Amino acid sequence: MTEQHPAFSYAPVGRTAHGVTPPGFRPLCVRTPLGTGEAVFEAASRAVLEWRMHRAMGVRMETDAERAAPGVQVTVGLGIGPLRVYGPCRVVWLVEDERRAGWAYGTLPGHPQCGEEAFWVEQAVDGRVRLTVWSYSNPAVWWTRAAGPLVPVLQRLYAHRCGQVLRRLARERPPTG
């Protein structure tokens, strides 16, 4: 028996893997330097792939998977208590090689936005490591449409916070295992 997945709430799917924003979507790209060296790259990569960056920010990542992988469903929860907003998503792509590690999720029906968001860590030839948060989205419900220009401001603040938290996690370098 084949498990059925709900369809994504937007199209085209997977464009963040190529750094492309489809026509009609609002783009976002925030890059944050994390440090230098293999140890920083490894620690930051693990934190992104194992959901730890998000969880360290206070984001609820409800999923049965220990780490990101294509097809993994995750419900993201932002906010506090009764003001927490949930958004169902599914991982669209994953990259994990000697210089780059990360993933993207696409929104599913019920998410307050429609679009895709990617998080990847990359190490340059000179050893510098950075996080890139790349997304394209549009409001999907009345209250995100009503929030108008406030939504992109909040998205940019969120992306910057990802970088701050990941920089701290990369310095902590949890044991491998």
The predicted model scores a pTM of: 0.92
Evaluate if residue 8 carries a pLDDT over 60: yes
Q: How far is CA 42 from CA 129, 168, 175, in A?
A: 10, 13, 11
Q: What is the pLDDT of residue 176?
A: 54
In a domain, 5, yes or no: no
Evaluate if residue 81 carries a pLDDT over 90: no
Residue 91 · residue 107 · CB < 8 Å? no
Q: What CA–CA distance (Å, rounded) separates 3 from 142?
A: 31
Question: Amino acid letter at 51?
Answer: W
Reduced to 3 states (helix: H, G, I; strand: E, B; else coil), residue 155 is: helix
Instruction: Average the pLDDT over 60-84 and give the result.
Output: 92
In a domain, 38, yes or no: yes
Q: Give 133-174 pLDDT, tens digit per residue.
A: 999 999 999 988 999 899 999 999 999 999 999 999 998 855
Share of the chain above pLDDT 70, in %: 95
In a domain, 146, yes or no: yes
- How many structural domains are present in the chain? 1
CATH of the domain at 50: 3.30.530.20
Instruction: Average the pLDDT over 14-37 and give the result.
Output: 95
Q: What is the pLDDT of residue 108?
A: 97
In a domain, 2, yes or no: no
In a domain, 113, yes or no: yes
Residue 118 · residue 134 · CB < 8 Å? yes
Could you tell me if residue 7 is left (phi over 0), alpha (psi between -120 and 50 degrees) or otherwise beta? Answer: beta
